[in-house]
Chains A and B, each alone.
Chain A
Amino acid sequence: MFAYYFKLSWLGIKRTPMLTALMVIAIGLGIGVSMTVLTVNYLMGKDPIPAKSHQLYHLQLNAMGKGPEWNYTADGYPWQVTYQDVQNVHRSEIPTRKTRSLATGVTIVPDNTIPNETGATPFLESTRAIDRDFFAMFDINFIFGESWNKQVDIDAENVAVINKELNEKLFKGENSIGKQIKLNAILYTIVGVIENWQPTPRFYDLNNGNFNSTERLFIPFSLLPIHELPSWGNNQGWKTETVNTYQDKLRSETTWNQYWVEITSRDQLAQYKEWLAGYISQQKKLGRFQSKKAGATLRNVNQWMEYNHVVSNDSSILVGLSFMFLAVCIINTIGLLLAKFLKRAPEVGVRRALGASRKAIFIQHLVDVTLIGLMGGLLGLALGQLGLVGVKNLYSSYSQLVYMDTSLIIAAIAISLGSSLLAGLYPAWLICRTNPSVYLKTQ
Chain B
Amino acid sequence: MLIMNNIKKVFRTDLVETHALRDFSLEVNEGEFVAVTGPSGSGKTTFLNVTGMLETFDGGCYTLDGKDVSQLNDNQRSKLRNEKIGFIFQSFNLIPDLNLFDNVDVPLRYRGFSAKERKSRIENALERVGLSARMKHLPSQLSGGQQQRVAIARALAGEPRFLLADEPTGNLDSLMARQVMQLLEEINQQGTTIIMVTHDAELARRAQRNIHIVDGQVSDYQQLQPVLDLAEA
Binding site for B on A (CB under 8 A): 1, 4, 11-12, 14-15, 346-347, 349-360, 435-437, 440-443
B49, A442: Cβ atoms under 8 Å?
Answer: no
Binding site for A on B (CB under 8 A): 40, 44-45, 49, 52, 54-55, 74-75, 78-79, 81-83, 87, 89-91, 93, 95, 97-98, 106-107, 109-111, 154, 158, 166-167, 170
Which of B75, B81, B93, B170 has most chain A Cβ within 10 Å? Answer: B93
B89, A351: Cβ atoms under 8 Å?
Answer: no
A442 surroundings in chain B (CB, below 8 A): 89-91, 166-167, 170
A355, B82: Cβ atoms under 8 Å?
Answer: yes
**A–B pairs, 14, beta carbons within 8 Å:** A14-B97, A347-B95, A350-B93, A352-B54, A353-B52, A353-B54, A354-B87, A355-B81, A355-B110, A437-B55, A440-B49, A440-B166, A443-B44, A443-B170
B167 surroundings in chain A (CB, below 8 A): 442-443
Bound-state Cα–Cα, A359 to B110, Å: 11
Q: Identify the 4 closest CB pairs spanning chains A and B, nearest first.
A: A355-B82, A357-B78, A354-B107, A355-B110
- Would you call the interface of chain A mostly helix, strand, loop, or mixed? helix
Bound-state Cα–Cα, A236 to B212, Å: 101
B40, A440: Cβ atoms under 8 Å?
Answer: no
B79 surroundings in chain A (CB, below 8 A): 355, 357
User: Closest Cβ of chain A: how far from B93's Cβ, in Å?
Assistant: 5
Bound-state Cα–Cα, A352 to B52, Å: 10
Q: Which of A11, A15, A346, A352 contacts B78 (CB 8 A)?
A: A352
A440 surroundings in chain B (CB, below 8 A): 49, 54, 87, 89, 93, 166
Q: Which of A1, A353, A356, A443 contacts B45 (CB 8 A)?
A: A443
User: Closest Cβ of chain B: how far from A34's Cβ, in Å?
Assistant: 34
Of chain A, the residue at the smallest CB distance from B49 is: A437
Of chain B, the residue at the smallest CB distance from A12 is: B97
User: Closest Cβ of chain A: how far from B221's Cβ, in Å?
Assistant: 23
A360 surroundings in chain B (CB, below 8 A): 78, 110
B52, A11: Cβ atoms under 8 Å?
Answer: no
Q: Which of B74, B81, B83, B90 contacts A353 (CB 8 A)?
A: B81
Contact A435 to B98, CB < 8 A, known contacts A357-B79, A359-B75, A442-B170: no
Which of B52, B55, B95, B167 has most chain A Cβ within 10 Å? Answer: B95
Bound-state Cα–Cα, A347 to B158, Å: 19
Bound-state Cα–Cα, A347 to B93, Å: 8
User: Closest Cβ of chain A: how far from B130's Cβ, in Å?
Assistant: 22
B74 surroundings in chain A (CB, below 8 A): 357-359
- Kindly list 5 other residue pairs between chains A and B, CB separation below 8 angstroms, not including A440-B89, A441-B45: A349-B93, A351-B106, A352-B54, A355-B110, A360-B78
B98, A443: Cβ atoms under 8 Å?
Answer: no
A14 surroundings in chain B (CB, below 8 A): 97
A435, B110: Cβ atoms under 8 Å?
Answer: no
User: Closest Cβ of chain A: how far from B156's Cβ, in Å?
Assistant: 12
A357 surroundings in chain B (CB, below 8 A): 74-75, 78-79, 110
Contact A443 to B87, CB < 8 A, known contacts A347-B95, A351-B106, A355-B78: no
B45 surroundings in chain A (CB, below 8 A): 437, 441, 443
Bound-state Cα–Cα, A349 to B95, Å: 11
Bound-state Cα–Cα, A1 to B113, Å: 11
User: Closest Cβ of chain A: how far from B75's Cβ, in Å?
Assistant: 5
User: Closest Cβ of chain A: how far from B175's Cβ, in Å?
Assistant: 21
User: Closest Cβ of chain A: how far from B169's Cβ, in Å?
Assistant: 12
Q: Which of B55, B91, B107 contacts A355 (CB 8 A)?
A: B107
Bound-state Cα–Cα, A39 to B45, Å: 59
Bound-state Cα–Cα, A442 to B83, Å: 24
Contact A435 to B89, CB < 8 A, known contacts A15-B97, A350-B95, A355-B79: no
Bound-state Cα–Cα, A442 to B89, Å: 8
User: Closest Cβ of chain A: how far from B125's Cβ, in Å?
Assistant: 13
A436 surroundings in chain B (CB, below 8 A): 54
User: Closest Cβ of chain A: how far from B47's Cβ, in Å?
Assistant: 11
Bound-state Cα–Cα, A98 to B22, Å: 93
B109, A4: Cβ atoms under 8 Å?
Answer: yes
B93, A443: Cβ atoms under 8 Å?
Answer: no
Of chain A, the residue at the smallest CB distance from B41 is: A443
User: Closest Cβ of chain A: how far from B201's Cβ, in Å?
Assistant: 16
Contact A354 to B55, CB < 8 A, known contacts A437-B49, A443-B40: no
B54, A443: Cβ atoms under 8 Å?
Answer: no
User: Closest Cβ of chain A: how far from B24's Cβ, in Å?
Assistant: 16
Of chain A, the residue at the smallest CB distance from B40 is: A443
A352 surroundings in chain B (CB, below 8 A): 54, 78
B75, A11: Cβ atoms under 8 Å?
Answer: no
User: Closest Cβ of chain B: how far from A362's Cβ, in Å?
Assistant: 11
Bound-state Cα–Cα, A358 to B52, Å: 15
A437, B110: Cβ atoms under 8 Å?
Answer: no
Of chain B, the residue at the smallest CB distance from A350 is: B93
B78, A435: Cβ atoms under 8 Å?
Answer: no
B54 surroundings in chain A (CB, below 8 A): 352-353, 435-437, 440
B89 surroundings in chain A (CB, below 8 A): 440, 442
User: Closest Cβ of chain B: how far from A180's Cβ, in Å?
Assistant: 76
Bound-state Cα–Cα, A346 to B96, Å: 11
Bound-state Cα–Cα, A443 to B46, Å: 11
User: Closest Cβ of chain A: how far from B55's Cβ, in Å?
Assistant: 5
Contact A353 to B87, CB < 8 A, known contacts A440-B54, A443-B167: yes
